[in-house]
Structure 1
Amino acid sequence: MEEVKFGQDINKQKHKKMNQTVLITGASTGIGLEMAKQLAAKKFNLILVARSAEKLQEIQKHLQDQEGVTVKIFAKDLSNSANAISLYNDVKRENSKVDMLINNAGVGLYGNFTETSLDAELDMIELNISSLVALTKLFAQDMLILKSGKIMNVASLLAFLPFPYYSVYSATKAFVLAFSETLAAELEGTGVTVTTLCPGPIDTPFNTDSMLTTNAYKANKPMPASVVAESGVDLLLDGKGKKLVGFNNWFISNLPRFTPDFIMMKIKKNLASQRK
């Protein structure tokens, strides 16, 4: 009898998993795409969001054919936070229940602050902060009603270690980390969890030629997107708090605890500078 019951429990867990849906923003490339693949392989249904409808359609067909899961797609440019709100409304209109949310969409910009594009930086703030806050609030409110749900926000190593020449990007990721940690405390005991993934350099199209030729990228090689995604999936499903991916990134994030600020900033500026 115990063996039958154990088998029944396993079947119930599988059935529950197959009926759970994960929404991923920034799902057409990089770790967003890799997390989509890994979650589909675990038989989670998906709602994928990115700007390119064509890329999303290709991913949708591939994952549905290969993994047999349901994949819904929404082509949205989240650098306008109004589109984040419309995304939520579109998902609700289709009666799609979001059990887990991964706020992965983000963009960076490298260069002297006084020389970089103001429009690009304002779009970055909208994408990295405003849309993330909007989606988190709207879906968290639904999750609270059901007393169940998981939200994972993607920050960065630079949330701990803001770099010169990444001034606005570093600030947006510091916001994501602070916001996620405080929200996690607010929601403790509700059945809704909030976690934060904090990767260092990743081998994705996010990296520009100017980024790749800095001292930092020579000293701290980008990790494969699939490896970072695996850590992200583990954190989403079973983790708590925040997670830095890789020992090297964990060690670097702790350097400010033992290094005077003025020395640390000189080190960071050197790392963020172009290789000579």
Structure 2
Amino acid sequence: MKNNQIILLTGASTGIGLEMAKQLAAQKFNLILVARSLDKLQALQQELITKEGIEVQIFAKDLSDKANAFSLYNEIKSQNIIVDMLVNNAGVGLYGEFIETTLESELDMIELNVSSLVALTKLFAQDMVARKSGKIMNVASLLAFLPFPYYSVYSATKAFVLAFSETIAAELEGTGVTITTLCPGPVDTPFNSDAMLKTNAYQSNKPMSADAVAKTGVELLLHGKGKKIVSFNNWFISNLPRFMPDSLMMKIKKGLASQIK
């Protein structure tokens, strides 16, 4: 049976977002898919319409410019589309020594991982609260709990996403709107650069499949509350700072984030 609810999903063309789109489509939710690549969105749109018989709308937007978050919202509103659920999945990472990585890349990362996420959350949450119904899931990371050297800005953006999501969730209690946070560890997606894959961390904590992480994300979005760290192993790792001195923990993290020798 077709589900009349509409879910807006950013970062939908690859990785976790792509797999979530397929799984939500299989449950007959109508979708609004957002990513930079128009070609990939068009191919996915056709696949999901043909296979699942749902309605799929696409918007090719580069959310590393927050102006595109506002234009996305305004275009959706102008079409009188009601978004029942929002998944802020779009994000990018960067690995390397802070003094050597490019400032432009890091500012774009902050714009995508933080500014556009905040804008979309606020704009759609306001509409949801007015209707007394809605769900928003923001995608953070294991590194929200464990800021790693060589991922300095990325770790900080994901720590922001987690703190932001938890506090907004508390503010919106009783409104009919829920805010959840998905916190995956390493995932087997194009997100990973060759340099990342050659670190000790990736060898000791093997990436999970995007399909498995998406399954956890779909469950959290539809039925969950609060935050969800994907897999027991990642949950255990996230709690290590509770039992170790900060100085020792940072040395361990630096070793894990370093290249295999």
| TM-score bucket (shorter structure) | over 0.9
Correspondent of 2:220 among 221, 235, 253? 235
3-state DSSP of counterpart to 2:86: strand
Please name the residue that 1:28 is paired with. 13
> For the residues of structure 2 that align with 1:117 and 1:45, how far apart are their CA atoms?
39
2:169 to 184, 188, 212: 184
For the residues of structure 2 that align with 1:90 and 1:75, how far apart are their CA atoms?
A: 12
**Which is higher, the Rg of structure 1 or of structure 2?**
1
Distance in 2 between residues matched to 1:145 and 1:161, nearest whole Å: 36
Alpha-carbon distance in 2 for matches of 1:55, 1:40 = 16
Q: How does 1:191-210 map to 2 (within 5 A)?
A: 191-210=176-195
Residue 128 of structure 1 aligns with an amino acid whose one-letter code is: N
User: Where does structure 1 differ by over 6 angstroms across 4 or more consecutive aligned residues?
Assistant: none
Amino acid at match of 2:92: V
Q: Which moved more, 1:89-98 or 1:145-154?
A: 89-98
Partner of 2:38: 53
Amino acid corresponding to residue 5 of structure 2 in structure 1? Q
- CA–CA distance in 2 between the matches of 1:23 and 1:159? 24
Distance in 1 between residues matched to 2:75 and 2:11, nearest whole Å: 17
Secondary structure at the aligned position of 2:239 is classed as helix
Q: Distance in 2 between matches of 1:92 and 1:49?
A: 15
Q: How much has 1:126 moved relative to structure 2?
A: 0.1
Q: Does 2:164 correspond to 1:148?
A: no
Tell me which residue corresponds to 2:229: 244
Q: Secondary structure at the match of 1:102?
A: strand
The amino acid across from 1:173 in the alignment is K
Pairwise mapping of residues 100-119 of structure 1 onto structure 2 (< 5 A)?
100-119=85-104
The question of 1:165 aligning with 2:150 is answered: yes
Residue 110 of structure 2 aligns with which residue? 125
TM alignment of 1:5-44, pairs within 5 A: 18-44=3-29
CA RMSD of superposed structures (Å) = 0.6
| Shift, 1:163, TM fit | 0.1
**Letter matched to residue 42 of structure 2:** Q
Gap regions ≥5 residues in structure 1: 1-13
Residue identity matched to 2:161: V
> Cα deviation per residue 1:105-129 (whole Å; 9 max; x = unaligned)?
0000000000001000000000000
Segments of structure 2 that go 5 or more residues without pairing to the other structure are none
Once the two structures are superposed, what CA deviation does each residue of 1:63-102 show, in whole Å capped at 9, x if it has no partner? 0000000000000000000000000001111111100000
The reply on whether 1:222 has 2:207 as its aligned counterpart is yes
- In structure 2, the partner of 1:68 is 53
Normalised to the residue count of structure 2, the TM-score between the two structures is 0.99
CA offsets 1:226-272 (integer angstroms, 9 cap, x no match)? 00000000000000000000011000000000011000000000000
d(CA) in 1 for partners of 2:244, 2:213: 28
Q: What percent of counterpart residues are identical?
A: 77
Distance 2:223 2:63 in 1: 28
In structure 2, distance between residues paired with 1:73 and 1:97: 15
Alpha-carbon distance in structure 2 between the residues aligned to 1:219 and 1:96: 45
Does residue 253 (structure 1) correspond to residue 254 (structure 2)? The answer is no
